[in-house]
Amino acid sequence: ATPTALLVASGRGAQLGVFLKSQQALESARVIDTVVLDKTGTLTTGEVAVTGVRASADTTPEAALRLAGAVERASEHVIAKAIVAACGAVPAVGDFRALPGLGAQGTVDGQHVLVGSVRLLADNGITLPADLDEARAEWEGAGRTTVAVAREGAAIALIAVGDTVRPRAAEAMRDLAELGLRTVMLTGDNAATARAVAAEVGIDEVLAEVLPADKAAAIEELRAAGRTVAMVGDGVNDAPALARSDLGLALVTGTDVALGAADVILVRTELDVVPRAIRLARATLRTIR
Ligand code: ADP
Ligand code: MG
């Protein structure tokens, strides 16, 4: 592309809410065959809230939430913030430790408390009792993320958290399919929840339970398998995966435009901008060749 053509594309892009940062981004947008999307904050709004609590017989939902909230108050995760928002005052936590992609732990009222995925509990040799496991299946099947709470090595409660799918996500996935692109969800969330959300928006393939540190490697595996990959993320903890893809697309809200990792910055946070950006790049290259 000549510099002039790039400028024209950028001008048209700005109207659509797309910023093309480099000629390389235009070239990449033309050749990609796969679009990988982060789940929380990208396919969904990221405005996570607690939607249900199930406690085992030896405790109450309030008591379990209080223990979970005490640990989560020290955590940065959006799930942690949702749990804290659902609690009243919480006691102090000691020996806090964040477990990236899994949960967090600490000491509350002299007891060891573990909060996080069912997989985190399983990794610690803790299984869910039947009633909590029933709630897990029901909530995950409905696309909720489930957070388990263990006290002194025993599961005492399950918390459902969730946000909503972005309004134009399904429409955007249909447009990407029309452009001949394969869509893949990449998430740290459990497989059942991920599949439910994928079915709701119409995603072709799901890569679930991928730890934050392994997301960039997941992109590289797709590329090693011969795919040319665009990654769409919210930039919160997927910057390495965005950087490792052939084309990184970051959904940004007005204030985070400084984000540097992606070749293309989407200024508007609506997902329909993704197929538009790809169409624009293809049309621009057709015009100038
Ligand atoms: P995502 O891919 O949605 O950004 P993460 O990799 O941050 O997700 O987390 C993956 C999963 O680990 C979450 O869905 C949740 O089950 C669990 N998890 C991570 N951090 C926490 C936390 N602070 N509290 C509870 N659960 C957590
Ligand atoms: Mg995310």
- Protein residues near ligand 2, an ion, with CB under 5 A: 38, 40-41
| 117 Cα nearest atom in ligand 1 | 16
Give the mutation target among 42, 147, 149 for probing the ligand 1 site: most ligand atoms within 8 A of CB: 147
Distance 212 CA to ligand 2 centre (A): 9
Q: What is the pLDDT of residue 234?
A: 79
Distance 103 CA to ligand 1 centre (A): 6
Q: What mean pLDDT, rounded, does the chain reach?
A: 88
CA torsion angle 217 270 265 281 (round to 10):
90
- When pLDDT is cut at 50, 70 and 90, the band that residue 286 belongs to is low
Q: What is the pLDDT of residue 200?
A: 96
Confirm or reject: Cβ of 115 under 6 Å from ligand 1.
yes
Q: How far apart are CA 115 and CA 187, in angstroms?
A: 19
Q: What is the pLDDT of residue 263?
A: 66
Task: Give the other-Cβ count within 10 Å of 177's Cβ.
Answer: 16
Q: What is the pLDDT of residue 204?
A: 97
Res 139 pLDDT > 90: yes
Label residues 15-51 b or e (16+ Cβ within 10 Å = b): ebbbbbeebebbebbbebebbbbbbbbbbbebebebb
Distance 80 CA to ligand 2 centre (A): 13
Q: In what order do the strands lie in the sheet with 94-99?
A: 49-55, 154-162, 145-151, 111-116, 103-108, 94-99
Distance 116 CA to ligand 1 centre (A): 7
- The domain segmentation of the chain, as residue ranges, is 3-45+165-288, 49-162
Q: What is the pLDDT of residue 4?
A: 47
Amino acid identity at 274? V
Q: What is the pLDDT of residue 1?
A: 44
Annotated catalytic sites, by residue? 38
Q: Which residue, by CA, sits nearest to atom 15 of ligand 1?
A: 117
Ligand nearest to the Cα of 159, by number: 1
Res 60 pLDDT > 80: yes
Give domain 49-162's CATH number out of 1.10.1200.10, 3.40.1110.10, 2.60.40.1120, 3.30.2320.50.
3.40.1110.10
Ligand nearest to the Cα of 121, by number: 1
- When pLDDT is cut at 50, 70 and 90, the band that residue 213 belongs to is confident
Could you give the angle at which helices 273-288 and 3-16 cross, rounded to 10 degrees?
Answer: 160
Q: What is the pLDDT of residues 70-126, one digit of tens each?
A: 999 999 899 999 999 999 899 999 999 999 999 999 999 999 999 999 999 999 999
Q: Which residue, by CA, sits nearest to atom 17 of ligand 1?
A: 102
- When pLDDT is cut at 50, 70 and 90, the band that residue 179 belongs to is very high
Please check whether residue 104 is in contact with residue 97, taking contact to mean a CB–CB distance below 8 angstroms: yes
Res 267 pLDDT > 90: no
Q: What is the pLDDT of residues 37-51, one digit of tens each?
A: 999 989 999 899 999
Domain 3-45+165-288 belongs in CATH node 3.40.50.10440: no
DSSP 57: T
Greater pLDDT, 1 or 57: 57
Res 258 pLDDT > 80: no
Tokens read off for 198: 């994928």
Counting residues of the chain whose pLDDT is more than 90, the rounded percentage is 66
> Does the reported pTM lie above 0.95?
no
